Amino acid sequence: MKRVMRICMLIMVLSVAVVLVVGNEPLLAKEVVSKEFQLALENDSYKLYFNPTTAEAVLEDQKTKQVWYTNPQGVEDQEQIIAFNKNKLKSQLIVEVVNQQNIVETALSELESVKKNKFSYEIQDNQLIVNYEFEKHGLMIPLTYELIPNGVKAYVESDGIVEGETYRLTKVAILPYFGAAQQGTEGYILLPDGSGAIMAFDAYKNSNIYTSKVYGRDLSLTNDTAPNKDERIMLPLFGLKREKDGILGIITKGEETASIVAQQALPNSGYNYAYANFETRVLNYYYLEEKDPGRSRKVPYISEALKANECYEVQYHILPEAQSDYVGMAKYYQSYLVGQGLLPAPKEGNQKLITIDVYGGVNVDSVIMGIPVVKFLNLTTFEQCKQILNDMKAAGVNELSMRYRGWEKDGLVIQGASQTIKPASSLGGKKQMDALKKLGKENEVPIYFETDLITYAPRKFSFGDLQKTIKNVGNYYAYQYTYDLPTKEIDKTIERTLLISPKALVARVAKVLPDLEENIALKGIADLVYHDSHKQGGSIRNTTNVFTEQLGKIEEGRSVLLESPNMYGLKYADLVVNVPVYSSNYMNFTNDVPFYQLVLQGYVDYFTPYINRNANPQEMLLKAIESGSGIHFGGSYEDPTILLNTPYNGLMISKYDSWKDLAIASYKALENIEEITQGSEITMHEAIEKGVIQVGYQNGTKIIINYNDDPIQYNGSIVPPKEYLILHQ
């Protein structure tokens, strides 16, 4: 015994000596992995220790000896934190189950498993597997840790989950408090909501928890009332910036079913955190509105079987200090995507600075002498589109691309699931269209013809159209509705549409592939997700897999324009439009950042939503400058007031004449910036004060953007309200 003690003492003395000699940074008490932790995994740069009594793990950087705990330490001593939150903070898994009455319960690994000593662990093949048994709910969930070159990954495989008879598992959150930051820490949470948003630590406005589905809501789950107007999460990740540290949590498997959850430190919870919450069953909530304003009762509708063959995986990447802020996170994520082959080859040549959307026409129901007919309303003919192109060229708008919407014979909404692709004859037919394409080629203006392969309107009495669509959990056809603005209920006056099932999409693409345009704008395929509850259907993952595959097929030999695509679609995009410049703006968000744009930068040309028809055209231009985006205009050549009393009045198209000058002026502004920055990348982005953003380019150029209504002073220069200032260096 004494010998052992002596050896221990010796080791300790030696290690202290080694640290004193080798380590140039002073050893802080909290950075040392305490003795209760045992070494479990090790790779070239990291070590993972595991605590067999608390089931907590800690990641240690071999070089800097910096540590990141799966659960915050010393929670027990903080009196202001309530008991339930303490148990939550000590959990590695937070799961949601429903009982047979569909009542949702939350179970914590700490409370049900660790405290009752109902967990086991094993280390094999460089994996640490911790098996949690939730006794009360009859559940067994194995959580596996593995080290990766830049951090650690943790995952749960659905096939390893064992369920009891009474409870069904609906959600599982993996390592919810990895890297959670204690109240008082400097830093922020990065959320990929819309363009991207920052939640500064501790700066909460209310106790709401941020929860949002990756890739947006599952469209199979039809809502009776209008869903909230918010922005989509397009990239499956979240970031934590703590003091000098940066952690990037990347959801690498099962992201289609994940939600990102985040909250700032409240007095009774004490920590800022963000995590991924995975849905293990298809879960539909029906909201039963109650008379009280703003209140509704949630009734869950849940599929029987657990999703099979799924894996829910989060990778925690520890960022180098220089890349620990959100710009760095974007660059890091960009290189991660490049490494995974998920981004296209870097852009060569000039960046396109403006995209102009041209609306061809729409089909509307009309009455001629009492007889209902379908009428094609011309908005812009091919000939008129040529005119627009020529105008722009004449005005010196060179880095131009165009998107032509509603040029097919059905207009904007395709009738039937197997419609062939043909130009509308009243727009000028194939001949005029070819002439337009020729003009585009001559002027090096790519004209992307939009085709919708996903959404279609069911024709009357066509059973085939229904066969090719998807069904929701309740085994109903998942109709897509337009919602009434005042009541938020389904607007029955506007034709409902259907979404094509993945299976039918494969067939459709195979059929129309030769007819697809060389420059093609695709609608839907990369910006929405759904599952199919048909017996032969599949999960969202199946759908996104099919989408990815089909995108690959279409992209071959073609140039593709997409609308702010989800992560899986990025690889196939040459041009991306409607990239949101805002986040959903939840009250607890501190400010918006152009995260998505920074990830795309240098690989894909990206454009803002429409500047015309926006409530704040000038602000939109500033946003484009802030995020390095191209600008985007859209409208028709003809007077669009013909749409006023049609279902298409929601498009709010405006006449080309009315925004032509604005488009040219905005283009000139961007061209000027482009000349100064010489196409280099944005490497710095920060908010100097409220409403004032500073953007730095690689070549040293700085742009100060003032969103406020008052002029501001910056280094002796004045930036006028709603204007920007370019500083050369």
**Where along the sequence are the contacts to another protein (CB under 8 A)?**
205-206, 208, 226, 228-230, 293-294, 367, 369-372, 413, 455, 474-476, 480, 482, 484-487, 494-497, 578, 580-582, 584-587, 589, 609-610, 612-619, 640-641, 643-645, 647-655, 658-659, 709
User: Alpha-carbon distance 13 to 167, whole Å?
Assistant: 53
Could you tell me if 240 and 262 are in contact, meaning their C-beta atoms sit under 8 angstroms apart? no
247 or 653, CB closer to another protein?
653
439 or 642, CB closer to another protein?
642
Tokens of 458: 């069911």
H or E stretch covering 591: strand 591-592
67 or 624, CB closer to another protein?
624
Q: What angle do CA 300, 302, 308 make, to 5 degrees?
A: 150
166 or 585, CB closer to another protein?
585
At its nearest, how many Å lie between another protein and the CB of residue 445?
Answer: 24
At its nearest, how many Å lie between another protein and the CB of residue 407?
Answer: 18
H or E stretch covering 449: strand 447-452
User: Alpha-carbon distance 582 to 230, whole Å?
Assistant: 10
205 or 511, CB closer to another protein?
205
At its nearest, how many Å lie between another protein and the CB of residue 113?
Answer: 32
At its nearest, how many Å lie between another protein and the CB of residue 590?
Answer: 11
User: Alpha-carbon distance 390 to 396, whole Å?
Assistant: 10
DSSP 718: E
347 or 496, CB closer to another protein?
496
264 or 401, CB closer to another protein?
264
CA-derived radius of gyration, the chain: 28
User: Alpha-carbon distance 285 to 540, whole Å?
Assistant: 17
What's the sign of the alpha-carbon dihedral 188, 191, 196, 197?
negative
At its nearest, how many Å lie between another protein and the CB of residue 615?
Answer: 4
CA 176 to chain centre: 19
At its nearest, how many Å lie between another protein and the CB of residue 3?
Answer: 59
At its nearest, how many Å lie between another protein and the CB of residue 128?
Answer: 38
At its nearest, how many Å lie between another protein and the CB of residue 587?
Answer: 5
At its nearest, how many Å lie between another protein and the CB of residue 228?
Answer: 6
What's the sign of the alpha-carbon dihedral 27, 29, 34, 40?
negative
At its nearest, how many Å lie between another protein and the CB of residue 230?
Answer: 7
101 or 228, CB closer to another protein?
228
User: Alpha-carbon distance 384 to 428, whole Å?
Assistant: 10
317 or 722, CB closer to another protein?
722
630 or 640, CB closer to another protein?
640
SS (H, E, C) 268-314: CCCEEEEEEEEECCCEEEEEEECCCCCCEEEEEEECCCCCCCCEEEE
Angle in degrees, 0-180, between the axes of helices 656-677 and 617-627, rounded to the nearest 10: 30
DSSP bridge partners of 133: 140
- What is each CA distance from 544 to 210, 507, 578, in whole angstroms? 25, 16, 20
What would the DSSP string read from start to end of 453-499? SSEEBPPTT-HHHHHTB-B-TTSSB--B--B-TTT-BB-TTSPPBEE
107 or 525, CB closer to another protein?
525
At its nearest, how many Å lie between another protein and the CB of residue 487?
Answer: 5
Q: What contacts 568, CB < 8 A, 6 or more positions away?
A: 342, 526, 544, 547, 548
49 or 215, CB closer to another protein?
215
The residue behind tokens 């000028």 is 428
At its nearest, how many Å lie between another protein and the CB of residue 632?
Answer: 9
